Amino acid sequence: MAGLHLFYTNPNIKDDTELGKLKCIQLNLQHSRLATDNLTKIIEEENIDILCLQEPYEIRNKIAGMPRRLKIFTAGEGKHRAAIVVNNNQLDTILIKQLSDEDAVVLEIIFSDVKMIIASLYFDITRHIDSDLRKIEKIAQHAKGEGALIAIDSNCRSSSWHDIITNERGRILEEFLLSQQLYILNKESHQTTFWSTRGASNIDITVTNGRLLSTVTDWEISEQESCSDHSIIRYVIGKRTAPWLGKNNDEARYKVNKVG
């Protein structure tokens, strides 16, 4: 895609962050202690670098159940429905307070001299979606010239992110993402991102701007037990691999050439 910028990494970085590979998880924890314990075990066993969480487990509006050595970011004094957890001391992290609140956490992350914006958002289904779209717009504006990734429990359904239906909220969101030149990373899967006794749907989405499009890879809905009503979503930031096909919500596909 013309004008696409690639995310370059420092080849001298060793161990789990060699070649700038950052392992990420996105998950709505359903405010569950059991889901939090399960996720903590995954973090320890797999050395996950960045976790974008929605509806974390809390006690008196403080995230609970996670080891103190982890960097845990929330904003606001009320009940938090968005958080980001960082498990990598090589990452310099700054909370962007003016863009963050109880339902939106936005971090500036610097790794190997590369700056990027990582955000975790929760869209309240009882709230008009316009207020959440304004948050995304401000994040995109702040990230001008830098890579940005936004992990969202959108409570929106759309065939653009492989749901079986498109509802009104989904139509509004997909049109907005197109207008902002933001790209949906979700891939078709036999798994869904959410399920309950009332049915299953794909309401959790991962969005990126063009700057990070070619370097967020291996996106998948994991079959691993989450102990939540949402599935674990996994992806990698900064892994340089074979050409990748990115998709935005106008159904167009763009081939990104490998950098030699």
pLDDT value of residue 165: 97
- 98's CB contacts (< 8 A; 6+ apart) are none
Q: For 14-18, 49-53, 57-61, 69-73, which range has the lowest pLDDT when averaged over its residues?
A: 14-18
| Count of C-beta atoms within a 10 Å radius of residue 196 | 9
Q: What percent of the chain has pLDDT over 90?
A: 80
Whether the CB-CB separation of 109 and 147 falls below 8 Å is answered with no
Q: Which of 201, 157, 180, 164 is nearest to 250 (CA)?
A: 180
**pLDDT at residue number 251:** 40
**Mean pLDDT estimate for the chain:** 87
Q: Using the predicted structure, report yes or no on whether residue 246 has a pLDDT greater than 90.
A: no
Mean pLDDT value of segment 59-65: 97
Residue 230 per-residue DSSP state = B
Cα–Cα distance between 101 and 119 in angstroms, integer? 11
What integer pLDDT is reported at residue 249 of this predicted model?
Answer: 43
* 242 pLDDT above the threshold of 60: no
* Residues whose CB falls within 8 Å of the CB of residue 170, separated by 6 or more in sequence, listed in order: 154, 156, 157, 158, 160, 163
Domains, the chain, with CATH or none: 15-256 (3.60.10.10)
Phi, psi for residue 244 in degrees, rounded to 5:
-120, 145
Question: What totals of helices (H) and strands (E) does the chain contain, helices first?
Answer: 3, 18
Inter-CA distances, 158 with 153, 185, 221, Å: 13, 13, 17
Query: Which tens digit of pLDDT belongs to each residue from 145-159?
Result: 899 999 999 999 999
Taking 80 as the threshold, does the pLDDT of residue 19 lie above it? no
- 160-181 residue pLDDT tens: 999 999 999 999 999 999 999 9
Closest Cα to residue 142, out of 111, 81, 184, 100? Answer: 100
- Mean pLDDT, residues 30-41: 98
